[in-house]
Structure 1
């Protein structure tokens, strides 16, 4: 048995007798104060990376931007060149021979042999022809005929036989003729059939093409100073009284001594990728046919340029320079 002494809250000492079966235990002690916090431990190893998060929702679309100002219009491109003519098609196969026809009656026989030549034209007949064309009746020394291309009248020293339209084969047709002709204003028909027949060649009026892919050296006095490209070309057939010879001299604009100048101009022909024509002398101040200013093509006039280095000696001739021409009579 043990007596325990302790003071209560008011300070009064109390004696409590405790009976310990074995050994008496003391009263429980109070909690001690917290100890000083220990040092931080070493950092732990990195953990495994977590799973990827789910993708976020799409954001709202942005507003349309303000439209920009309209750009300035571009310049017109240069006109393209005429395309090359297509290749000639292969000839068709020959058809089968037809059946022999029956012998006819009263059919025209084959042509007989040519007869002897008729008498030569007399001086009186020549004078009559000259009179019909309005030439002076005292023509005794003969004369010569030439065509003034691009004009409707002849020079002061010649007489006009007729004026008309310059014509030739179409620029892109392989067949037909290769020369220019002067068609009269009023044709005189023989036997004819209207409508184009496939087997026959055609003839077309001629347009000026100067200034298209090349220089234009011609005077524009008969067009009011304006460009005359695509105008239709007239012509005049002229008679030189008492001068029995005439000549066109390319690359000259004056006549030899004792020859008479009929007119001068520039040498022209067909476009270099078209089918060939002849070289003719186009008057330096051409005229046009009224109402013929549309671009319809047909036969064409292009000014001729010199080409050096291919048997044409230079510097006598100059590369690309337009060639003059002159028509003279004697």
Structure 2
């Protein structure tokens, strides 16, 4: 095979759907999900910004989660839809790098942020008297800045590294966006160092936070079980189950994709799993956090004048 001079050629994204009637139907569904995710996350950010009742560390972190989800889904879906509708498959070398950077940044940032939200719930329920100190507004700002900074630095290192690979002329990426795993198969050089780095990064930014979240919520559920107040038990259990739903939908496909041996995956599996953490989760987050949270529903009533029938 011949090497590809990446300074003058584009990558080719093979996409997610076939170019037929079924593909158009599936694309319509994805665009509907994209619209719901965009509107839902923008509404959540606006609510938290304008409603004083939501000016707490928990909701500040939630607003950042919505911002990350908004950027997450905007990184992949518009380009995929454009290529499908206009019969194109190409993406420039620079465009692939930019897409890769934002995807990796959001993946790392969201992993750290979800762990921080689990810690917030742990302190609020298990150590309520210490909450004003452990989760002060200043600490919340540090968590947010730290998540964005670590995620961006991690992503920048990986993006610069992978863009310096030499590639074969067969530069078709069997994916709907510039995913690291799919790009590695196109490199005409030994990539074991990069693969080891990906494994290490996935462990640090996804697996360890996931284990921390599991431990935090395990401790929270134990504390909830021993609560005397039935109403308090119900509210705490609802909050924990809501967060765990988001965590499972986000972490499970990611960990399976990047920590499971590559020879046990097929390109189709990679793409299906990617749909969960790049498209479905950004839509589900605002729905789950709003419809199962009376404080958010109350904010919607005050700001938008909707869901007034749910107000007690």
- Normalising by the smaller structure, the TM-score range is under 0.3
Structure 2-normalised TM-score?
Answer: 0.18
Higher-strand-fraction structure: 1
Larger Rg: 1
The structure whose RCO (Cα within 8 Å, separation 6+) is larger is 2
Higher-helix-fraction structure: 2
Structure 1-normalised TM-score?
Answer: 0.18
